Structure 1
Amino acid sequence: MTVRTGAPAAPLTPRAALRWPLIKRAVRRAQPGTIVEIGCGQGAMGARLVGLTREYVAVEPDPTSYRVACERIEPRGGTVVNGLTDDLPAGRTYDMACAFEVLEHLEDDAGALRDWAPRIRPGGHLVLSVPAWQHMFGPWDKAVGHYRRYSPDDLAGTLRDNGFEPVDISLYGWPLAFALEAIRNRVADGSPIQEESAPEQTAHSGRWLQPSKRISDVGITVGILPFQALQRIVPKKGNGIVAVARRV
């Protein structure tokens, strides 16, 4: 696969920018030759992952987000499929699967992990992110179709019970993500999206409050740097989790 590294990457949200260093570190340590991203949304993270592997494939069920993801990922050499993991070639496995802000949207999270495991070669890795701490479940979670949030121990147990051995489970986001969450809860409280069905909310979540312009990327990248440094200093505080697990 030829990667067009000159193609501009899509802007990350501030929260995604906070978790990106943890994700990048996990991918570089594992050095996967092939990656599948499950639920790539509008492709902002995928546009970065393409440059860290030989072959990158993503699946995205929402047609609107899929079209944006194609525009962002495919010029860089990746492939995006409008569908689910079942729509990938039968029997195909990957060195790594990634699922960012996906698991909390699935009513049967254990079943999803069992479904994902056969897509990863034995000994390969799963990298995922989820919101942390059920006591923080608020208007934003409800509006975007979350079923739950996780503690590090809860997530580790769910992974162990469904085909994976946790390698690293890290909190991220202190202190900025707490302020961002308060803002998101205020925006979501009373929003019409609260009245949508869970599948509609999930589809909407990949598009809501997403930056779209290159200038946004520059501003977020520069502005987030001191907060990326702060969260490294306080690694045991945060309202988000990035987890790395190995397929048993």
Structure 2
Amino acid sequence: MTSPSRSPFPSSSYGQLAQAESGHWWFRVRNMVVLWALTKKVKPFNSLLEIGCGTGYVLEGISRAWPKIELYGSEYFEEGLEHARKRVPAAQFRQLDATLLDEIDRYDVVGAFDVIEHIEQDETVLRNLARAIRPGGSLVLTVPQHRWLWSQVDEYACHVRRYSRAELVAKVQQAGLQVSYTSSFVSLLVPLMWLSRKRTGKQHDPMSEFNIPRWLNSSLEAVMQFELLLLKTGVRFPVGGSLLLIATKP
């Protein structure tokens, strides 16, 4: 999902993204992190809205884990929704600019997974999401972290920012929510991530992060599975390429 004030993610990329997600270490591991967070850090829920659902890859994983709940997805671009509807036919989808979301006390859980970093008016969106959550419900966010990791990859992805933990916590609290959990992830791979991004030049091929050797893809996923195991034992990483945040509505 992208703010209208930014150059949109190329519509042709949604097809490539839909094909790549299920086999790529990053998307597979992020789904594992999200599902673990929903299982262990959020109280039982009957309805969930994903803002900026893209091709529906995360919602597909959630639907398999909780087949009986009400699932909703919104996306700024119709091109993404075409794939999402096929992936999760039981969910209800709509095209939506998150800055215009006006529902009140509607969902048990609202999730936005690598979405709000694309939106100039992120504080407006967070207020909208907070309003849409039922009292006692939860917000689950993942965002790219650390400004010092900014690179051409972020520019291609139409990111407006990479967050610091303090910035995201403050904005979520200002939206009226109580932050209950935060942790970095993609932490063990930060040195490799930093080196890779510093070597990225102006002629960066945006699909190069998908077109990696199978052995490397498997190796990176194995490292991340070990990292997830540490998260499950209670480790909270202070540094990482991404940040997970969970908040509740009083």
- The TM-score normalised by the length of structure 1 is 0.75
- What percent of counterpart residues are identical? 23
Partner residue in 2 for 1:172: 185
Q: Judging changes above 3 Å, is the alpha-carbon distance between structure 1 residues 188 and 25 closer, same or farther for their aligned structure 2 residues?
A: farther
Cα pair 2:31 2:61 within 8 Å, conserved: no
Distance in 1 (alpha carbons) for counterparts of 2:53 and 2:223: 27
Q: 1:42 is matched by which residue type in structure 2? A: T
3-state SS of paired residue (1:238):
coil
* Cα displacement (A) at 1:161: 1.1
Change over 3 Å in CA distance of 1:174–1:78 after alignment to 2: same
Could you tell me which residue of structure 2 aligns to residue 112 of structure 1? Answer: 125
- Helix, strand or coil: the match of 1:45? helix
The residue aligned with 2:109 is: 96
Residue in structure 1 matched with residue 246 of structure 2 by the alignment: 244
Query: 1:27, 1:52 within 8 Å by CA — same for their partners in 2?
Result: no
Number of residue pairs the alignment of both structures matches: 218
Is 1:174–1:234's contact at 8 Å kept on the other side of the alignment? no
Q: Give the SS at the match of 2:72.
A: strand
- What's 2:237 paired with? 235
Describe the superposition over 1:57-92 as per-residue Cα deviations: whole angstroms up to 9, x where unpaired: 100121211111111111xx2222223458889556
Distance 1:247 1:234, change over 3 A: closer
Q: Root-mean-square deviation (CA), in Å? A: 3.1
Post-superposition offset of 1:35: 0.3
Q: Does 1:27 align with 2:29?
A: no
Alignment of 1:94-243 (within 5 A): 94-176=107-189, 178-180=191-193, 183=196, 189-190=202-203, 224-230=221-227, 232=230, 235-243=237-245
Structure-2 change in CA distance of 1:92 and 1:247 (3 Å): closer
2:152, 2:204 within 8 Å by CA — same for their partners in 1? no
Structure 1 position 178, deviation (Å): 5.0
The unaligned stretches of length 5 or more in structure 1 are 1-9, 194-207
Structure 1 position 69 matched with structure 2 position 71: no
8 A contact 1:134–1:148 mirrored in 2: yes
The answer to whether the 8 Å contact 2:149/2:197 transfers is no
1:46 matches 2:59: yes
1:59, 1:82 within 8 Å by CA — same for their partners in 2? yes
Gaps of 5+ in 2: 1-20
CA distance in 2, matches of 1:167, 1:110: 19
CA contact (8 A) 1:130 1:150 kept: yes
Quote the Cα distance in structure 2 between the aligned partners of 1:247 and 1:111: 16
How far, CA to CA, are the matches of 2:248 and 2:97 in structure 1? 22
Of residues 79-88 and 238-247 in structure 1, the stretch that sits farther from structure 2 once superposed is: 79-88
CA distance in 2, matches of 1:142, 1:58: 25
> 2: distance between equivalents of 1:221 and 1:46?
23
Q: Assess if the C-alpha contact under 8 Å between 2:141 and 2:245 holds in 1.
A: yes
Distance of 1:20 and 1:101 partners within structure 2: 12
> Deviations for 1:28-60, whole angstroms, at most 9, x for unmatched residues?
132211000000111111100113441111001
